[in-house]
Structure 1
Amino acid sequence: MTLLAVERIKLFSTRSPYWCSALAIVLGVGLTAIIAAASEEQVSLGLTQIGSAQLAIAVVLVMAAIAVTTEYRFGTIRSTFLAVPNRTSALVAKTVVVAFIAGVLGEIIAFGSVGIAKLLSSNSDLSINTAAEWRHVAGVGIVYAIGAIIAVAVGILVRQTAGAVSILLVWQMAAEGLIGFIPKVGIKIQAWLPFTNATHFLTMGADSPEQGGAGIDFKLSQWGSLAYFAGIAVAMLVVALIVAKRRDA
């Protein structure tokens, strides 16, 4: 518990978590507000989560990576490892704190988006009743938390802010989507890509353009896709921890 408290204090001693959190909320909830205000028809529950699934998550990934790379940049990671010789414990504590914050932020954005849509489009039916609807909204926080683990792992491996952020943004926002354009095998490969599976977990049934994953023949159920996404995140973190133990800080 002491390590968790220390990592929380260290994280919030810089401005980046505050700015990233604010930007993520503005992008996620703000896009929903624009859609709801501009729409002359009813807004669907799926549309309320476009900002959280496509824009806000990118900012959260950046925040998670910076939580690690900043320490390497300013050399404070050396002090951390001197105070806690067990590097694995220190880095796992940091990962837990960052993932928890990312998860909470995801829930705020997801439910905040539904709330603003109800306010601006009062004639829309945005009630959350079915299990699929709850998964679509409440599942955003879970995806953010797992995504943060991946971002921390990338940060540990790369150690440089620019490199880690570039990898994460290109990976999450472009690379997985572009793979689908590869003739014959692109869509088959997409069915096993981590962030594509995270999107599949959040869908409310048949894939549609507004939910993502259209045309992909997923081999896993939606909860299976979440487990697969989490498995990749844990595997990457394990590799990152092994590398961190074997090289100089």
Structure 2
Amino acid sequence: MMVNALNAERIKLLSTKSPYWCVAIVALLAILFSVLIGAFASGDDSENIYASDYTTGVSQIGVIVLMIMAVLAVTSEFRFGTIRTTYQAIPRREVVLGAKAVIYGGLSVVVTLVLGIVALLLGKVLSGNNMDLVGSDAIRQYWGIPVYTLLCILIGLGIGAIVRQTAGAIVVLLIWTLALEGIIGIIPKFGDAVSPYLPFNNAARFLTERDTSIDFPWNAYGSIAYFAVISLIIFGLGVFFTKKRDA
């Protein structure tokens, strides 16, 4: 059953335009930010640039685009009514969402892996700094961004399955990733207490591992593990609501 579900999701992926547009936008953002940062951070300034700065277009903005792609993978089926046909062919709904996670997650991992490497190479060449492309900071970007992206895809699929409506799901996603955690963080006392446990704060800490004012209760690898748990919970809730509600 899983093989059939994977084949079905692969066909959907390749036969719709939105994934192509999303990947193209991510590629454009990755290259654009890397070129801009590399070109303007020359000379002594380039030594203050981290490997994670060059990959900003991928890890901070591009990943959001890929999360929107994951949302659309679910909500578009509800919008056009094809979800009923999908569930008739594959009655086990958790298998359907699992197949989406494999296909869209796999695509996103490959895309961000390639673009992360390209972004680092471009940034280093244009800035002329002495960043070690096989150093620990760079290596963390090579594997860390794809892992982070995969977890974000699970969140996107989970939100899409819970909300079901495209506009609503994208609004929830954008508010959470772009504003909510920042707003919570500036609330006196409450923000200081809660910030170490906000998911995307932990993900950002893992990718950059810079000194921040947030007092995390664990190290950088604990942060990505915590983010993984939150991602799996949201995806699990998506599966739960999908099984409980009518198509």
TM-score normalized by the length of structure 2: 0.92
Distance 2:117 2:244 in 1: 42
Structure 2 counterpart of 1:27, from 9, 29, 37 = 29
Aligned AA for 2:149? Y
Structure 2 counterpart of 1:150, from 155, 160, 171 = 155
Partner in structure 2 of residue 37 of structure 1? 39
Distance 2:140 2:158 in 1: 26
Structure 1 counterpart of 2:122, from 101, 116, 126 = 116
Percent identity of equivalent pairs: 37
Structure 2 counterpart of 1:159, from 158, 164, 177 = 164
Greater helix content = 2
Distance 1:132 1:124 in 2: 14
Aligned residues: 241
Structure 1 residues 5-16: aligned runs within 5 Å: 5-16=7-18
Partner in structure 1 of residue 199 of structure 2? 194
8 Å CA contact retained: 1:49, 1:137 = no
Aligned AA for 1:217? D
Q: Note closer, same or farther for the CA distance 1:242–1:185 as it changes in structure 2 (3 Å cut).
A: same
Specify every segment of 5 or more residues in structure 2 that has no aligned partner in the other structure, as ranges. none
Partner in structure 2 of residue 210 of structure 1? none
Partner in structure 2 of residue 236 of structure 1? 234
Partner in structure 1 of residue 78 of structure 2? 72
Q: CA deviation at 1:16?
A: 0.4
Partner in structure 1 of residue 69 of structure 2? 63
Partner in structure 2 of residue 139 of structure 1? 144
8 Å CA contact retained: 1:27, 1:55 = yes
Structure 2 counterpart of 1:104, from 107, 110, 114 = 110
Which region of structure 1 is more displaced relative to structure 2, 33-42 or 183-192?
33-42
Distance 2:224 2:240 in 1: 24
- Aligned CA RMSD, in angstroms, stands at 1.5
Q: CA deviation at 1:217?
A: 0.7
Structure 1 residues 210-225: aligned runs within 5 Å: 214-225=212-223
TM-score normalized by the length of structure 1: 0.91
Q: CA deviation at 1:132?
A: 4.1
Partner in structure 2 of residue 211 of structure 1? none
Specify every segment of 5 or more residues in structure 1 that has no aligned partner in the other structure, as ranges. 208-213
Aligned AA for 2:20? Y
